[in-house]
Amino acid sequence: MKELHYGEGYQCAHDTEEKITTMTCLPDSLKDRIYYKPTTQGKELRVKERLEKIEDWKKSHKEKV
């Protein structure tokens, strides 16, 4: 598998301090789709805040192509 470069460029989120990577796992046809929009009610507020932090982090760490 090494000769086929299997797993090359893989980034493991568990190995990072933020538990986030810049690696894209979805196909381009699904890129930037939003499947869940949490409200500010109850425990969804924490989810909403975390998703906003992740989005901000990804914008500030966008890989230069």
One digit per residue, the tens of pLDDT, for the chain of length 65 reads 889 998 888 999 999 999 999 888 889 999 889 999 999 999 999 999 999 999 999 999 886 54
Assigned domain for 36 exists: yes
- The CA-CA-CA angle for residues 7, 57, 8, to 5°, reads 10
Assigned domain for 46 exists: yes
Assigned domain for 15 exists: no
Assigned token pair, 46? 């924490």
Q: What are the backbone angles phi and psi of residue 34, rounded to the nearest 5°?
A: -115, 120
Range of the domain at 27: 22-60
Assigned domain for 10 exists: no
Candidates 6, 4, 13; CA nearest to 58 is 13
Candidates 38, 55, 56, 54; CA nearest to 46 is 38
Assigned domain for 8 exists: no
